Amino acid sequence: MENQIYRLKDGNRYDLEFWIVHTNDLEPYKEIRELGISVTNKGFQLDFDVDENELKSLIKYLEESLEYIEYFNKKSRAIKEL
């Protein structure tokens, strides 16, 4: 996990990357890991990190989104052209 990057690309418009971030708590000092996220759009880059609690919340949201998308797509029917 330490050296892996997960990338999503949309042609030349944007890149989205996820990786493990090495960081630390100060009081008391200890090394920790968080999820790093980078969004690049037309040369502008925005980086931020997600701590353990935020990551759990994000995973919950993504799981619920996946369930909804799968349910909706299963029920979806082709629309006949007029």
Specify if 68 maps to a domain.
yes
Specify if 65 maps to a domain.
yes
Specify if 10 maps to a domain.
yes
* Closest C-alpha to 50, from 67, 31, 64, 32: 32
Specify if 82 maps to a domain.
no
Confidence of residue 31 (pLDDT cuts 50, 70, 90): very high
Question: Which structural domain, as residue segments, surrounds residue 41?
Answer: 5-75
- Buried residues in 23-55 as b, exposed as e (16+ CB within 10 A): eeeeeeeeeeebbbbbeeeeeeeeeebbeeeee
Number of separate domains in the chain? 1
> What number is the average pLDDT over the span 30-58?
93
pLDDT at 39 over 90: yes
Specify if 57 maps to a domain.
yes
Percent of the chain with pLDDT over 90: 68
